[in-house]
Structure 1
């Protein structure tokens, strides 16, 4: 993951990666078949690690909004060139060349985040912490918002640092989920 994040997949060679991890390029190709498969499997491994953290954060016995904020903190990159997000950017860049099975694997990862977000929105509404919303619809919008902001953070675009992104997302939640009717 660090090698991909540092140089990008295009500049990474199987021979160079093999030297870094103490394997021959032949062994890497035997296990991964291609750079795309290596990239996807690395992302799946990274997501498994992050999934453990996410499940722990969401299982805490705190208000739903605190868990929602923890979800967002796990989602948004820590800084430009965040290794986890670099994997996502590389895969999104290659998405057109991936086969259907690989795209299905990416969708499975996306849906795990989506299901957790929907569950938080439903729980928050049922407890009166959030107003009643169409949880599927709002979750789709939130993920698009997070993906857009996260891409900017990962790319290091000026004005898109993590703190500002977290503040924007918190404002969005306040405006969208507040149980008080702000329209009247």
Structure 2
């Protein structure tokens, strides 16, 4: 009887291997041979799941955003308004080992995205989705009477996204100065200014 292979599970294993390699050695050091070895496959066996290295890297980049979104949906659940906005931000922020690894992966891909339209599209789509979600939570908060500031929602979201991306960079490059406590304090300061 032929062995049944779960292609989606295998693709996830390969993506996890990519993440581990990038976190340890950086994006430029990732080769197909290294990927195969990290994932426990013979060299050349990855082509049964991905056509080439670029396709693997694109999937790994997209998976970082998808992982964040899955956690955010679970964390937010039925929350609305400012509490929901805060929960979304917390899932994007590198506050633990998992989210820090995601930050390392995403940062490694940013330079590549500047020169690769498909990767740029993944980043643009993720930012657009988060922007829409954040604006929705801000509108809920306004309807609930929890926001008094006259700052347009787009400006508030611009500030939040800039802070979140900054947290990712600084947590990777300056971890001693970008502790989870300090990140949360900055976020709470930003959100705390909205009711006034």
Choose the corresponding residue for 1:21, options 39, 49, 52.
Answer: 39
Corresponding position: 1:143 with 2:161: yes
Choose the corresponding residue for 2:52, options 10, 33, 41.
Answer: 33
Task: Please give the per-residue CA displacement for 1:124-171, whole angstroms capped at 9, x wherever unaligned.
Answer: 111111125421221122101111122101223432112101101111
Partner of 2:71: 53
Corresponding position: 1:128 with 2:157: no
Choose the corresponding residue for 1:8, options 23, 26, 34.
Answer: 26
Partner of 2:83: 66
| RMSD across aligned positions (CA) | 2.2
Listed as ranges, the gaps of 5+ residues in structure 2 are 1-18
- State the TM-score, normalized to the length of structure 1: 0.83
Distance 2:161 2:147 in 1: 18
Task: Please give the per-residue CA displacement for 1:29-76, whole angstroms capped at 9, x wherever unaligned.
Answer: 561423x43222112123222212212333324x63322221121011
Distance 2:74 2:178 in 1: 28
Corresponding residue pairs, total: 175
Distance 2:47 2:123 in 1: 21
Q: Residue 61 of structure 2 contacts residue 122 of structure 2 at CA under 8 Å; is this kept in 1?
A: no
Deviation at 1:79, TM superposition (A): 4.6
- Partner of 2:29, secondary structure, is coil
- Partner of 1:159, secondary structure, is coil
Partner of 1:88: 106
Deviation at 1:15, TM superposition (A): 0.7
- Partner of 2:146, secondary structure, is coil
Q: Residue 79 of structure 1 contacts residue 154 of structure 1 at CA under 8 Å; is this kept in 2?
A: no
Q: Residue 118 of structure 1 contacts residue 139 of structure 1 at CA under 8 Å; is this kept in 2?
A: yes
Partner of 2:12: none
Listed as ranges, the gaps of 5+ residues in structure 1 are none
